[in-house]
């Protein structure tokens, strides 16, 4: 099963593609980057277009998205919410099931501790996917953690 994890954002939308068989294997990862000089609707359009290319290239069977946690900066929360909406639309148009996990669920699943640090999560992603180094940027590592969460969090989903 091919699983695409997404860490949504306006400036950077991290993505990570894994394949689950007898073990979980890394297929690819990266970030969709948008320019802060562009208007927000153009940035969202770029995320939409690039994500559609990723979906076409890798043909995931599931898309997994990190849920928005409470953010004290309302403007940032709204922009992330708009990015999440783009991801949901892309998955819906491609007729790919979408699942969501909170940051606490991701940390608990990947590290075994819901209050784990970002560095601990990144280190576990590296170990679980047998990578030589921690994936960069952080948004891509977070997206891989979300994909790994789907693989282990709720076995009856698979």
Task: Report pLDDT for 152.
Answer: 86
How many Å apart are CA 69 and CA 102, to the nearest integer?
A: 7
Q: Is 66 annotated as a binding residue?
A: yes
How many Å apart are CA 145 and CA 111, to the nearest integer?
A: 10
7 is catalytic: yes
66 is catalytic: yes
Q: Which helix (H) or strand (E) holds 31?
A: strand 24-33
Number of domains within the chain: 1
38 is catalytic: no
Which of 82, 132, 139, 156 is an active site residue? 139
Q: Is 132 annotated as a binding residue?
A: no
Which pTM was predicted? 0.93
Could you list the residue range(s) of the whole structural domain that residue 131 is in?
A: 2-157
The DSSP string of 16-77 is EEEEESSSEEEEEEEEEE--TTS-HHHHHHHHHHHHHHHHHHH--SEEEEEPPPP-S-HHHH
Task: Report pLDDT for 78.
Answer: 85
Task: Report pLDDT for 158.
Answer: 42
Q: Is 61 annotated as a binding residue?
A: no
CATH code for the domain of 132: 3.30.420.10
Which of 66, 82, 108, 132 is an active site residue? 66
* Averaged pLDDT in 10-residue chunks for the chain of 158 residues: 95 96 95 97 98 98 86 78 95 97 92 90 96 95 97 62
């Amino acid at each position: 099963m091919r699983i695409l994890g997404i860490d949504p954002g306006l400036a950077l939308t991290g993505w990570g593609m894994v394949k689950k068989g007898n073990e979980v294997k890394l297929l690819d990862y990266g970030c969709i980057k948008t320019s802060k000089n562009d208007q927000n609707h153009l940035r969202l359009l770029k995320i939409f277009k690039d994500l559609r290319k990723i979906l076409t290239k890798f043909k995931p069977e599931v898309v997994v998205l990190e849920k928005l946690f409470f953010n004290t900066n309302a403007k940032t929360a709204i922009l992330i919410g708009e990015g999440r909406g783009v991801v949901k639309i892309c998955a819906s148009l491609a007729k790919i099931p979408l699942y969501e996990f909170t940051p606490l669920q991701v940390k608990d699943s990947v590290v075994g501790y819901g209050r784990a640090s970002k560095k601990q999560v990144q280190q576990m992603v590296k170990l679980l996917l047998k990578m030589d180094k921690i994936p960069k940027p952080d948004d891509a590592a977070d997206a891989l953690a979300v994909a790994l969460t789907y693989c282990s969090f709720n076995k009856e989903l698979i």
